[in-house]
Structure 1
């Protein structure tokens, strides 16, 4: 179990102090101005660094935004500790991740104010954030298969579908809030996740 967690931790990226300052600046700009407010000039000004310093780590503002969003996901994943080993805990973890994701100020802004940007950065291609989540899910699914509480199949394939279900629910949450209350939304998402994983 400890080795599995160590493997997951080693696969997650890290950022040095200067990169962290720049990504903090990107977070603040996204949360207040949206992704269009993130430019290299604004990042440099807000982080108190030169433009060449930013270009040493990222090719352009879009690249920096993607890194900022990845860092938010890595932070959420780091709060979980050991990967789940049963179906029930996997479902609980996905629901908890969803709640933390929706509460995150940067992602909350994107979901509420810039759903098209959320789609572009999280749904149009499998990026580093999704790969980090998939590695986390696949490790838990493989462990729960050994426990017998998750059906036998390729853990990566199950993880992909689990991610698709959760992403769709998150993206549509505000859209359907007048049709389904929070308790029902969580209950139905839980049922969908359980149904996918059950042997």
Structure 2
């Protein structure tokens, strides 16, 4: 399940910056190779050297955003409580990210397509991070025994479901209670 931090060169970063701007302004359907080329001031063949189509660029754009969020977590947590804190912090940063917030609020079908219909590179990167964190917390004895990769999958499912359903239940449960109950669910999954 190992997924390494992606690396992009300066030209690819420029293209991904253009994709971010287009997604924010027009949504994912507004991202075309022609628009990317125009906004990035590059030729279409330059874009096609790195990606096969606009959908691939959107996926790379979303992966870059996840990688940037994960980069704010420099060390693996040493305990279950630190791991739960990190997952909740990741969720908060994810929900605050302007592009992901836009997709969740205005294009939930696109969010679903890019994050839930298949396990893509963004999810694999998150799973790699979670599995390493789970393994470190298992060494501490505060996380139950089990295969870290398998526990990571369930942790990701719980977190994704909570993020995707947040808007649906926001009238039923206050934010503080939502976070408290999500913390309890995550902690319960990991508890020995």
TM-score of Structure 1 vs Structure 2, range by shorter chain: over 0.9
TM-score between the two structures when normalised by the length of structure 2 = 0.98
Residue 129 of structure 1: aligned partner: 122
- Pick from 62, 74, 82 the counterpart of residue 67 of structure 2: 74
* 1:186 maps onto 2:182 in alignment: no
Partner Cα distance (2:186, 2:164) in 1 = 16
State the 4+ residue runs in structure 1 displaced beyond 6 angstroms.
Answer: none
Give 1:161 deviation, angstroms: 0.2
Query: TM-score scaled to structure 1, two decimals?
Result: 0.94
Partner of 1:148: 141
Cα displacement (A) at 1:182: 0.6
Provide the secondary structure at the position in 1 that maps to 2:52: coil
Q: Select 1:168's aligned residue among 161, 166, 169.
A: 161
Whole-Å separation in 2 of the counterparts to 1:81 and 1:107? 22
Show CA shifts across 1:81-127 (max 9, x none). 01112100110000000000000010000000011100000000000
Distance 2:89 2:54 in 1: 31
1:5 aligns to what? none
Give the whole-Å Cα distance in 1 for the aligned partners of 2:115 and 2:77. Answer: 24
- TM alignment of 1:107-122, pairs within 5 A: 107-122=100-115
- Within the candidate set 7, 23, 32, 2:16 is matched to 23
Q: Identify the residue that residue 50 of structure 2 maps to in structure 1.
A: 57
TM-aligned CA deviation for residue 175 of structure 1: 1.1
The question of 1:104 aligning with 2:88 is answered no
- Gaps spanning 5+ residues in structure 2: where? none
| Cα deviation code 1:16-75 (max 9, x no counterpart) | 000000000101111111100000011001111000000000000000000000000000
Cα distance between partner residues in 2 of 1:164 and 1:157: 11
